[in-house]
């Protein structure tokens, strides 16, 4: 996990971008619907952590990424 995982195909980058966009969308929803408070900060941290783990799962398990998921847009 502490090494560079070169993308094996361009679909990997597409999947990672979709994860980042989904995280951004959720963070914007949190911003719009919650007051500025410590819980909001924790929510943002959780979204960021989930995004990072999801992209790590894509990086570290490229061979396991199902072809239908990669092609889905």
pLDDT at position 39 is 98
* Gyration radius of the chain's alpha carbons: 15
Looking at residue 24, its pLDDT comes to: 97
Categorize the per-residue pLDDT at 27 as very low, low, confident or very high, splitting at 50, 70 and 90.
very high
pLDDT value of residue 37: 98
Global confidence as pTM: 0.78
Label each residue of 41-67 as H, E or C: HHHHHHHHHHHHHHHHHHHHCHHHCCH
């Amino acid at each position: 996990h502490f090494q560079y995982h070169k993308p094996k195909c361009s679909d990997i980058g597409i999947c990672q971008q979709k994860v980042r966009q989904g995280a951004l969308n959720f963070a914007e929803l949190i911003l719009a619907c919650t007051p500025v408070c410590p819980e909001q900060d924790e929510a943002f941290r959780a979204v960021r952590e989930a995004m990072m783990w999801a992209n790590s799962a894509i990086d570290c398990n490229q061979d396991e990424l199902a072809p239908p998921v990669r092609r889905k847009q």
